[in-house]
Amino acid sequence: MKEYKIIKPESMWAYKDATFEDMFNKYASQGWRVINVGFDQSGNIRKAVLERDKNR
């Protein structure tokens, strides 16, 4: 069985690529993997969907 998490920045101005990279690496260390990323019209990340096995 899988579980999912949606992460969204509080403000599109608050996050840069390096910040998302650090955040994704932190979640990856907990077993999460990015399965989808949504962008706004300017190309900024608006949200990401993460997935991991529930019974790890």
The structure's pTM equals 0.78
Question: CA-based angle 24:34:39, to the nearest 5?
Answer: 90
Query: How many alpha carbons fall within 13 Å on the CB side of residue 28?
Result: 8
Grouping H, G, I as helix, E, B as strand and the rest as coil, residue 22 is: helix
Q: Where are the domains of the chain?
A: 2-53
Lookup result for tokens 């932190």: 26
CA distance 35 to 27: 12
AA identity, residue 26? K
- Using one digit for the tens of pLDDT, what is the confidence trace for 1-35? 999 999 987 765 556 667 778 888 999 999 999 99
